[in-house]
């Protein structure tokens, strides 16, 4: 039994985990940086400990300080949330070596799937389609040869990348050398490794992911797919479940591939297997995220299950008592970021002087903000997630429009992505679900001026 959990994270995901823990009768311990002393997760937890200064490397990435807080508070388990240390295999290994339960997969699974080259090789070995390309590119000559073989445009991707980072598109050979150098340098700075690989760039694909859940007894289930194609610079802004693009045949394929790769690595806990899908509904494996996703609430809304609860229960050794699920109804998640869409998404931080959060039937808000909250400049810009559900996509869109109009986050210099989402409602491609991963970037100016 787990009686007390330390949450090695901040913001809305820390609040989300605390709420489920309270419902399960589990005590919670929050950690916080000096910049987050007044954050909501600190208020809601049973105990809270400062682990360092405002910079992530001094606090939320400070493994010795986090483990010290775990020891002082005498916890049984540590939940990493998403981001920060959630996909750090060394952290997972150290947590377990110190005698705590890591609420996530084994460090070996994190290590294997965290390297996109290794994950890609495994998928190929299992007969799962991957985008044409080559691994272990080290020189310009190798890159040029590969690009000529598969044809431009190409994607240069960091082997250890994540969260949409470490990806560069090359349309013509004249841009290859400079882009390759930039990509390798960025990969080294961001992920500690300049290892990259090259894939054929598929024009205007859909980004579809499958939510999976495994237990320590070898059972793996699939809990629906999510549409994540509305992106900016490979960063997701809006997610839907189910995907308006996916039919029964494609869903069956995606479930089979996702469960196959998870079963092969003896995966347990929550995880997400991600694919891009071309216009002809051909899926290609791209990566596996070995953690809870930001967008997990849209899945919860259409399968009526608490995924965080299942994550904790499976970590305790309990068996999964549900089967594969097909989404029921339709849910949409809007990420409300502290960014100004009209100024190239420039961060817009400050004190929240007025806050009105939407409510009503089938409307959910996951957030850590409150009136008077000071938005810190050190972390991810996401302030809230508005999740709505309808009997179908049309109803969910109407409910989303109403909820967005209710939302008010006001203060000096504060701008959010709310205005962008409202303007999307003027575009039939969005209303019809006919958008792709480049839709926003190709139409942003037109959307904002509409």
pLDDT tens, residue by residue, 277-319:
999 999 999 999 999 999 999 999 999 999 999 999 999 999 9
Spell out the domain ranges in the chain: 4-103, 132-200, 206-449
Q: What is the mean pLDDT of residues 127-144?
A: 89
- Count CB atoms within 10 A of the CB of residue 285: 24
Q: Which architecture does CATH list for 4-103?
A: 3-Layer(aba) Sandwich (3.40)
Angle between helices 116-125 and 248-264 (to 10 degrees): 110
Q: Which of 37-46, 161-170, 230-239, 349-358 is the least confident region?
A: 161-170
In this prediction, residue 304 carries a pLDDT of 97
- 249 Rama sector, left if φ>0, alpha if ψ -120 to 50, beta otherwise: alpha
Q: Do β-strands 154-158 and 167-170 pair in parallel, antiparallel, or remain unpaired?
A: antiparallel
Q: Which architecture does CATH list for 132-200?
A: 2-Layer Sandwich (3.30)
Share of the chain above pLDDT 90, in %: 87
Unique residue bearing structure tokens 């390798």: 184
Alpha helices, DSSP H, located in 265-306: 296-303
Question: Residue 163: pLDDT band by 50, 70, 90 thresholds?
Answer: low
Question: Residue 354: pLDDT band by 50, 70, 90 thresholds?
Answer: very high
Closest to 110 (Cα-Cα) out of 82, 131, 71, 133: 82
Distances (CA, A) of 404 to 55, 424, 432: 32, 12, 19
Per-residue model confidence as pLDDT tens digits over 369-402: 999 999 999 999 999 999 999 999 999 999 999 9
Q: Which architecture does CATH list for 206-449?
A: 2-Layer Sandwich (3.30)
Per-residue model confidence as pLDDT tens digits over 32-68: 999 999 999 999 999 999 999 999 999 999 999 999 9
Same fold, 132-200 and 206-449: no
Question: Residue 159: pLDDT band by 50, 70, 90 thresholds?
Answer: confident
- Tokens standing for residue 156: 């240069």
Unique residue bearing structure tokens 């890609």: 120
Residue with the larger pLDDT of the pair 188 and 93: 93
- Ranked by mean pLDDT, the top range of 107-111, 165-169, 230-234 is 107-111
DSSP 23-46: HHT-EEEEEEEGGGTT-HHHHHSS
Q: Are the C-beta atoms of residues 94 and 63 closer than 8 Å to each other?
A: yes
Q: Which of the following is catalytic: 291, 335, 364, 393?
A: 291
Three-state secondary structure call for residue 301:
helix
Q: What is the mean pLDDT of residues 58-83?
A: 98
Q: How far apart are CA 294 and CA 277, in angstroms?
A: 21
Total-model pTM: 0.92
Q: What's the CA angle centered on 202, arms 327 and 428, to 5 degrees?
A: 55
Annotation marks residue 291 as catalytic: yes
- Tokens standing for residue 409: 């986050």
- Count CB atoms within 10 A of the CB of residue 145: 13
């Amino acid at each position: 039994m787990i009686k007390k959990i330390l949450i090695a994270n901040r913001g809305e995901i820390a609040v989300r985990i605390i709420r489920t823990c309270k419902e399960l009768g589990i005590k919670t311990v929050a950690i916080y940086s000096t910049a987050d002393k007044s954050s909501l997760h600190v208020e809601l937890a049973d105990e809270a400990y400062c682990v360092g200064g405002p910079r992530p490397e001094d606090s939320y990435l400070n493994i010795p300080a986090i483990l010290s807080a775990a020891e002082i508070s005498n916890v049984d388990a540590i939940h990493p949330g998403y981001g920060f240390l959630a996909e750090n295999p060394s952290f997972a290994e150290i947590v377990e070596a110190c005698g705590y339960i890591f609420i996530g997969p084994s460090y070996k699974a994190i290590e294997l799937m965290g390297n996109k080259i290794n994950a890609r090789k495994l998928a190929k070995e299992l007969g799962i389609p991957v985008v044409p390309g080559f691994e272990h590119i080290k020189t310009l000559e190798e890159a040029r040869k590969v690009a000529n073989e598969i044809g431009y445009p190409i994607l240069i991707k960091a082997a250890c990348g994540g969260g949409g980072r470490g990806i560069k598109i090359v349309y013509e050979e004249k841009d290859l050398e400079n882009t390759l150098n930039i990509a390798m340098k960025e990969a080294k700075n961001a992920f500690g490794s300049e290892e990259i690989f090259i894939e054929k760039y598929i024009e205007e694909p859909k980004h579809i992911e499958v939510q999976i859940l495994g237990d320590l007894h070898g059972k793996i289930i699939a809990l629906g797919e999510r549409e994540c194609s509305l992106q900016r610079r490979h960063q997701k802004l809006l997610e839907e479940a189910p995907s308006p693009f996916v039919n029964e045949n494609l869903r069956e394929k995606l479930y089979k591939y996702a469960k196959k790769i998870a079963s092969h690595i003896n995966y347990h806990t929550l995880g997400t297997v991600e694919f891009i899908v071309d216009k002809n509904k051909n899926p290609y494996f791209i990566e596996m995220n070995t953690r809870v996703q930001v967008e997990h609430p849209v899945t919860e809304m259409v399968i009526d299950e608490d995924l965080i609860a299942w994550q904790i229960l499976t970590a305790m050794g309990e068996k999964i008592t549900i089967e594969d699920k097909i989404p029921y109804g339709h849910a949409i998640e809007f990420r409300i970021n502290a960014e100004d869409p009209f100024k190239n998404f420039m961060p817009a931080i400050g004190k929240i002087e007025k806050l009105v959060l939407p409510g009503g039937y089938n409307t959910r808000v996951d957030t850590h903000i409150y009136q008077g909250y000071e938005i810190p400049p050190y972390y991810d810009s996401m302030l809230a997630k508005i999740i709505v559900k309808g009997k179908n996509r049309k109803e969910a869109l109407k409910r989303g429009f109403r909820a967005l109009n209710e939302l008010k986050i006001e203060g000096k210099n504060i701008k959010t992505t709310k205005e962008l989402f409202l303007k999307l409602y003027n575009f039939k491609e969005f209303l019809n679900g006919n958008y792709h991963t480049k839709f926003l970037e190709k139409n942003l100016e037109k959307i904002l001026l509409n």
